[in-house]
Amino acid sequence: MSQHIIAHLSAADPVMGALIAAVGPYAPEPHDEVHPFQVLTHAIAHQQLNGTAAATILRRLVEACGAGGFPSPEWVIATEPARLRAAGFSFAKIAALKDLAAKTLEDLVPEHAVLAGLGDEEIVARLTQVRGIGRWTVEMLLMFRLGREDVLPVDDFGVRAGFRAAYGLKSMPHPKALQAYGERWRPFRSAAAWYLWRALELKRAGTLPAPALKTRMPRVPRRRRIRAAPRKRARAPVAARRPAPKTLKRTARRPARNPVRNKPARRARK
């Protein structure tokens, strides 16, 4: 199944072809039909945590449910936040988890079979309405749960770092530039992302091949900053701009100087 994918990517991009030759056959993990509610709950638990800590939180969540299986959306909505907090969820994650449960009951987050019949962008548009769920999370669901073949997560750090290493770039590629460059990998961009992840593994092992060609990234148009026009100070009315008339201060009259009394005495002549 992967031979035609490898042939397409190697013919479209020589650097990718060398990376494929170094990694070997395309072997993505098999995906199972799990309800998207469970998948997105795992994604919320893993946010800003390592795998061990997230696994502990999910285990406590299952134990708190007490049903012997994964909690249902109805149970999450009915459960007090303090109980979810005791399992290890933060207040932000509790809000995201309850919003996910509510939108699952509203069928905005449908079952796996219904979701599989929708297009990629339609799935992204629907699931990103859930609090705390971004595009990257949905892209991971598309790749590893729905088996979509043409997903390129350009915001993924591993994909960008793998591209930098495999293509010999001095800096990380801009997501928009990577998006434009990756058009040559269509319709198998998921496989290209998989090989870019493997490129980091080869780099750590010291077996990553050097790129035979110099890669020129597409230019990304920069947004020009529009300078705000200086604010004009509102001019006061003419009457208000006129200076107030000066008032003459009335001073007390000083007593007249007595020329005789105040006249300095003359020194007597010797």
Token readout for 131 is 């609090």
- Same domain for 42 and 125, yes or no, is yes
The pLDDT of residue 124 is above 60:
yes
Show which of 118, 144, 170 is a domain's final residue. 144
Q: Examine residue 222 and state whether it is found in any structural domain, yes or no.
A: no
Same domain, 175 and 190: yes
Q: Picking from 8-17, 25-34, 82-91, 112-121, which range would have the lowest pLDDT averaged per residue?
A: 25-34
In this predicted structure, the answer to whether residue 235 has a pLDDT above a threshold of 70 is no
In the chain, which ranges are continuous DSSP H helix?
Answer: 3-12, 14-23, 36-46, 51-65, 73-78, 81-87, 91-105, 112-116, 120-127, 135-144, 157-167, 175-181, 189-205, 238-241
Q: What is the pLDDT of residues 53-78, one digit of tens each?
A: 889 999 999 998 876 789 999 999 99
150 annotated active-site? no
Domain boundary pick from 93, 113, 144: 144
Tokens of 194: 């998989």
Q: What backbone phi and psi angles, to 5 degrees, belong to 222?
A: -90, 145
Q: Note whether residue 179 is domain-resident.
A: yes
pLDDT > 80? residue 223: no
Is the pLDDT reported for residue 83 higher than 50? Answer: yes
- Asked if residues 105 and 127 have their Cβ atoms less than 8 Å apart, the reply is no
Q: Are residues 112 and 168 in the same domain?
A: no
For residue 107, what are the domain limits? Answer: 36-144
Q: Per-residue pLDDT tens for 26-44?
A: 988 877 788 999 999 999 9
**pTM of the predicted model, to two decimals?**
0.76
Mean pLDDT of 104-115: 94
CATH, residue 123? 1.10.340.30
User: Which one, of 40, 95, 86, lies nearest residue 63 by Cα?
Assistant: 86
pLDDT digits over 139-193, tens only? 999 999 999 999 999 999 999 999 999 999 999 999 999 999 999 999 999 999 9
pLDDT: is 106 or 241 the higher one?
A: 106
Amino acid at 250: R
Domain count for the chain, please give it: 2
Q: Write down the pLDDT at residue 257.
A: 57
Provide the pLDDT for residue 204: 94
Tokens of 5: 């994918």
Mean pLDDT across the chain: 86
| Percent of all residues in the chain with a pLDDT value above 70, rounded to a whole number | 81
Q: Are residues 140 and 46 part of one domain?
A: yes
pLDDT at 263 over 60: no
| Burial readout 227-242 (b: 16 or more C-beta within 10 A, e: otherwise) | eeeeeeeeeeeeeeee
